[in-house]
Amino acid sequence: MPTKPTSSTALQSDATPTGESRVALVRRARRIDRELAVTYPDARAELDFTTPLELLVATVLSAQTTDVRVNATTPAIFARYPDAAAYAGADPAEMEELFKPLGFFRAKTRSIIGLGQALVERFDGEVPARLDELVTLPGVGRKTANVVLGNAFGVPGITVDTHFGRLARRFGWTDQEDPVKVEHEVGALFPKKDWTMLSHHLVWHGRRRCHARRPACGACPVARWCPSFGIGETDPVAAAKLVKPGPRG
């Protein structure tokens, strides 16, 4: 595995976490993404939605739970609250009952009601299509905002969740822990038009192969370009058993 740059080289504008040249890092990063695109041709947002508001609500509700559970719960939620005004005027007790399967239902109820009120009061009930406006909404940070921008509005954005951050560091694209710094450092390696799909590729790979505790290194399509190869199971047969082929979660 390549060594990290020394403190002296870290001050150089072209220093990289792995010590390789900037050009080599960009080429390797883009090669990995191209291979992941082939491996996961159906990669997409795994939350079910039909409108920007539905995606925004689903993404806020997905905190500390799985997409599978959110998708099982949101049909009833979307039917009960068809627009921002409905969320703004919701009865908290009724909403809490709907949110209970998702955990942290009281906090999520406060966020969603506040979200609806903010949309009605400041954006005429419509979800804004700008990052600086989205992050002013209750329960919405950069990660949620980029999910909505990229998948509901077609505005490129990098979504740094736990999977994305873990893989970006394992790939040697960044050594940052702060999500905003990860977003900026990784974004600089790729054309802006690729940011949304890049996010899907890394999240899908993190959920299916590059697990936090025991990555399936021996069944990894990008192993040859990964400086972290060997931190998980390298035997191809054993690694294949670790792959999660399809379930969302």
- Of 33, 67, 143, 194, the catalytic one is 143
193 is annotated as an active-site residue: no
pLDDT tens per residue, the chain (249 residues)?
A: 444 433 333 333 467 988 999 999 999 999 999 999 999 999 999 999 999 999 999 999 999 999 999 999 999 999 999 999 999 999 999 999 999 999 999 999 999 999 999 999 999 999 999 999 999 999 999 999 999 999 999 999 999 999 999 999 999 999 999 999 999 999 999 999 999 999 999 999 999 999 999 999 999 999 999 999 999 999 999 999 999 976 444
Helix (H), strand (E), coil (C) string for the chain: CCCCCCHHHHCCCCCCCCCCCHHHHHHHHHHHHHHHHHHCCCCCCCCCCCCHHHHHHHHHHCCCCCHHHHHHHHHHHHHHCCCHHHHHCCCHHHHHHHHHHHCCHHHHHHHHHHHHHHHHHHHCCCCCCCHHHHCCCCCCCHHHHHHHHHHHCCCCCCCCCHHHHHHHHHCCCCCCCCHHHHHHHHHCCCCHHHHHHHHHHHHHHHHHCCCCCCCCHHHCCCHHHCCCCCCCCCCHHHHHCCCCCCCCC
